[in-house]
A and B are shown apart, each in its own frame.
Chain A
Amino acid sequence: MASGNGKSNTRLMKGNEALAEAALRAGMQAYFGYPITPQTEVMEYLSIQAPNYPGVVILQAESEIAAINMVHGASGVGARVMISSSSPGISLMQECLSYMASAQLPAVIVNVQRGGPGLGTIQPSQADYFQAVKGGGHGDYHLIVLAPSSVQEMVDFIFDAFRLTEKYRNPAMILADGALGQMMEKVTLPVAGSLPKTNAPWATIGKPNSRERNIITSLFIQPERMEKLNLVLQEKYNQLQKEVRWEEYQTEDAEIVLVAFGLTSRICDKTMNLAREKGLKVGLLRPITLYPFPTNALAKLAKHAKVFLTVEMNAGQMVEDVRLAINGKCPVHFYGRMGGMIPSPEEVLIKVESIAKEFQTAHA
């Protein structure tokens, strides 16, 4: 369904297809998955393209659990590997993601979220925020989490995610949603081969005389050794903080700062402009990385802003991270829709206006 000249680097593409094309251009060597709406086009697109990429493994596994364990295996031999699914499928993968974080294996995991909990709906949602940024599986670990807000970023973040996952040897997640997967926008595709291949020093592909044997495991029976690994992981998450990314719009004079990620940040962009037309000083901070979270950027804004409003397609999961960053300096409000419903810019504006009225009365 992707339109446009096959050779051109600027095309009109669906988010799911653009992401799949980007993965091929980023030198992905293996993909494992299992179909689930709203992201099945990823595997569909890869299957159609597979003949043009001899040597690249594209496989539909018998389940999400099998697929993520295949990812574990492929990463273990040093392959650049990706998996994609949607919320219920991602839940099934959590055990293995914990294993991979512990074994320090890189992989890119794409979650094109749909409404939950449970099997839920097939409509867009951001209700897997906690699962993505707080760990998801058991144990003290984090995923690196990137939240795209356009089809172009579905492409760009694939490259960023592969770069980060290999640099830090930690699984990286692209946290998208059904709307970003299904919508079409203009994209400029990067040149194939522009991402250098890692030499995968962890890979278990035979032991040369020059080094000790590589062991891939997440089982360390002695607590002393397990704690040592935990310290290594914690130091890695410390180092990761320098990879934090965010965007700010019109925050310089903002009294009300909207905080939103992914699709919701674009909805809030429009709300901000509607509010500015009405003379309200509204700005927007959009976290691009959800882990690491732009804590310092928010803390800085809290010095001159009056109030924050977090907007999400969930029941307010990011609010606690925003509140930790603001640290009591300003009130943090929330507006959200759940279960696959998308807030409109106009309904967010109603919330903004009611907050504006509140603090104008308070300061009168």
Chain B
Amino acid sequence: MNMSMTQEIIIAGFGGQGVLSMGQIIAYAAMEGKKEVSWMPSYGPEMRGGTANCTVIVSDSRISSPIITKFDTAIVLNQPSIEKFENAVKPGGILIYEKSTILRPPSRKDIEVLAIPGLEEAQKLKSKQVANMILLGAFLEMRPIVKLEHVISALHSVLPPHRQHLIPLNEQALARGKELAIQVATEMVVR
């Protein structure tokens, strides 16, 4: 790492899509990598049947405000969150979204936008629960702020004992996400 790095991330979607745990996995992996980290969930009325989100800050230096309104990266899994967070991405930032659930794709030209078919690819892996890990893989390909080995050890910590056998599947999903990001990003350049 050459200079001081800070990455401010929002992850948003419906409750049950694994939004909060994605954030926790990044946070835990960052901690394994000896970085400063903060994970702030939405826990308000919007969680009751509506959207859930969390902000994650990963930094080489002390984190001041855990409350942020502009993000380097947005990972978005549902339509309402596109509307809420598209304009909150800093210019030059990145917006990764789940292709199958977004009807009106983002339109900004000053950020990188990646449509990742996480759900479709997860179904090919016979587990739609890992769609979030495919998106996470795509993010880590674009912004390798944490090491993959730390993400794997994060899974060991975050998953309850009766889910530990799913770690290899999650690893596959992460790898698939990385491939998709390269593919989608290349297509963007060609187009």
Binding site for B on A (CB under 8 A): 3-5, 10, 12, 37-38, 121-123, 178-179, 182-186, 263, 266-267, 269-271, 273, 340, 342-346
B:22-37 near A, CB below 8 Å? 24, 27-28, 31, 36-37
Given that A182-B40, A184-B39, A185-B39 are known contacts, is A3 also in contact with B64, CB under 8 Å in the complex? no
Nearest to A3 among chain B residues (CB) is B157
Binding site for A on B (CB under 8 A): 24, 27-28, 31, 36-41, 43-45, 63-70, 154, 157-158
The reply to whether A344 and B67 contact each other, CB–CB distance below 8 Å, is yes
Known: A184-B27, A184-B38. 11 other contacts (CB 8 A): A3-B154, A5-B157, A12-B28, A38-B43, A121-B45, A122-B43, A183-B38, A183-B40, A183-B41, A183-B66, A269-B64
Residues in A whose Cβ lies below 8 Å from that of B69:
344-346
Complex: A23 Cα to B75 Cα, angstroms: 36
The reply to whether B39 and A179 contact each other, CB–CB distance below 8 Å, is no
Complex: A121 Cα to B44 Cα, angstroms: 8
Residues in A whose Cβ lies below 8 Å from that of B66:
179, 183, 185, 263, 266
How far in angstroms is the closest Cβ of chain B from A16?
11
The reply to whether B37 and A266 contact each other, CB–CB distance below 8 Å, is no
The reply to whether A342 and B64 contact each other, CB–CB distance below 8 Å, is no
Complex: A184 Cα to B43 Cα, angstroms: 13
Given that A266-B65, A270-B64, A270-B65 are known contacts, is A184 also in contact with B24, CB under 8 Å in the complex? yes
Complex: A184 Cα to B20 Cα, angstroms: 11
Residues in B whose Cβ lies below 8 Å from that of A343:
67
Residues in B whose Cβ lies below 8 Å from that of A266:
64-67
**Chain A contact residues, majority secondary structure:** mixed
Complex: A270 Cα to B28 Cα, angstroms: 24
Complex: A336 Cα to B28 Cα, angstroms: 33
Residues in A whose Cβ lies below 8 Å from that of B38:
183-185
The reply to whether A342 and B28 contact each other, CB–CB distance below 8 Å, is no
The reply to whether A185 and B37 contact each other, CB–CB distance below 8 Å, is yes
Residues in A whose Cβ lies below 8 Å from that of B41:
182-183
Residues in B whose Cβ lies below 8 Å from that of A186:
31, 36-37
Residues in B whose Cβ lies below 8 Å from that of A263:
66-67
Given that A122-B43, A183-B38 are known contacts, is A12 also in contact with B64, CB under 8 Å in the complex? no
Q: List 13 A-B contacts (CB under 8 A).
A: A3-B157, A4-B28, A12-B31, A121-B45, A122-B43, A179-B40, A179-B66, A179-B67, A183-B41, A185-B37, A263-B66, A267-B67, A269-B64
